[in-house]
Amino acid sequence: MNLLSTLVDKGLRRELPTREEALAVLATSDDELLDVVAAAGRVRRHWFGRRVKLNYLVNLKSGLCPEDCSYCSQRLGSKAGILKYTWLKPDEASEAAAAGLAGGAKRVCLVASGRGSTDRDVDRVSETIKAIKEQNEGVEVCACLGLLSDGQAERLREAGADAYNHNLNTSESTYADITTTHTYADRVDTVQKAHAAGLSACSGLIAGMGESDEDLVDVVYSLRELDPDSVPVNFLIPFEGTPLAKEWHLTPQRCLRILAMVRFVCPDVEVRIAGGREVHLRSMQPLALNLANSIFLGDYLTSEGQAGKADLEMIADAGFEVEGAGEVTLPEHRATAGGGCGSHESAGCGSHESAGCGSHKSGGCGSHAGGGVCGAAATAAPAAEPRTDLVAVRRRGAGTDLAPNA
């Protein structure tokens, strides 16, 4: 049985691939890429059909962050020309959310820059959650407010939050290379706090920061072990004015391999194409829908995204359908086991007995197929051609007087 047949079989059984198999996916050639996409697509369709869940970001507080995350346009010392504003009022945030919901989104992600929220900030966000839920029946709300202190996750859950996002971003061994003001362990602790409070955990990665294939596999296996219900895969947007502005390591083909690897390792979770898809996947975005079952609609936190109308047309043209508000995203075995919008059943992706296993969104708080398995290179991929023309700062929506892109 060749590599891809093995991976499909394991994915349908929710069985963890070996590290060598995951690395082999990243090492496949361009000639084998469509075979890789087709194989991972079988796993995606088995658990999620042809549905695509739409999510919408609302940046509650932009810029002015005291943390030094190298990838982030809102970081301490960032010279990126992004929007900077303090907390939106609950009615302002609710109005911004309504635009995304009108465009077909079923989840609103409320994001605020900073290390973490004070208790007063949690009160403010709780009021925003209540306002959104009162005006939009059935909407899911995910909060992304940085590191959680004791009791804060429980308060957000009581206010009506369904989920909490906090990305691991990269492997534990390289984490200190991108951030020094908090630790990898801090991030793990926050995801665990969200789990413990009964929130649906959302945690993902950022690809394209110069990491090795081993780093990518490490972080995805760590995510499987943490068992989030959704895994956003971000592709670095190299903003001018940030330390990683010159990091252009991604091609559309590499992005597809990364998404396929994530799908094989975490077959039954919501895999979301998050920040950077327009910059790095470009015209290959529709092909990526065969791997991921979730995307963000419209603009991101600090950068512009594809027009919301174009997102909807892309989904339809690729033969997929927007997931309805009344549809359950997760497979039954996860959705019925309790815990926010999904579950943490012992045999699911990231099951704790299975021995192993956001959105960056431009600066937010990602062998051969026909034969044997071979290891992937330990060094970062050669730099791709920079596409700085595709990096556009968001100038509309939340924090402005202009209509949002949804």
Instruction: Point out the residues that are catalytic.
Output: 65, 69, 72, 109, 142, 202, 272
- Contacts of residue 177, defined as CB under 8 A and 6 or more positions apart, other chains included, come to 70
Buried/exposed code over 357-374 (b: 16+ C-beta within 10 A; e: otherwise): bbbbbbbbbbbbbeeebe
**CA-CA distance, 82 to 72, in Å (whole number)?**
11
The alpha carbons of the chain give a radius of gyration, in whole angstroms, of 19
Q: Is 68 helix (H, G, I), strand (E, B) or coil?
A: coil
Task: Classify strands 230-235 and 205-207 as parallel, antiparallel or unpaired.
Answer: parallel
Residue 203: phi and psi, rounded to 5, are -155, 135
Q: Are 401 and 309 in contact (CB under 8 A)?
A: no
Buried/exposed code over 330-355 (b: 16+ C-beta within 10 A; e: otherwise): bbeebbeeebbbbbbbeebbbbeebe
The number of beta carbons lying within 10 Å of the beta carbon of residue 5 is 12
Q: Are 200 and 143 in contact (CB under 8 A)?
A: no
**CA-CA distance, 205 to 198, in Å (whole number)?**
22
Q: Are 224 and 349 in contact (CB under 8 A)?
A: yes
The number of beta carbons lying within 10 Å of the beta carbon of residue 150 is 7
**CA-CA distance, 74 to 399, in Å (whole number)?**
14
With tokens 């927007």, the residue in question is 322
> Which tokens sit at 332?
């039954």
With tokens 């047309």, the residue in question is 313
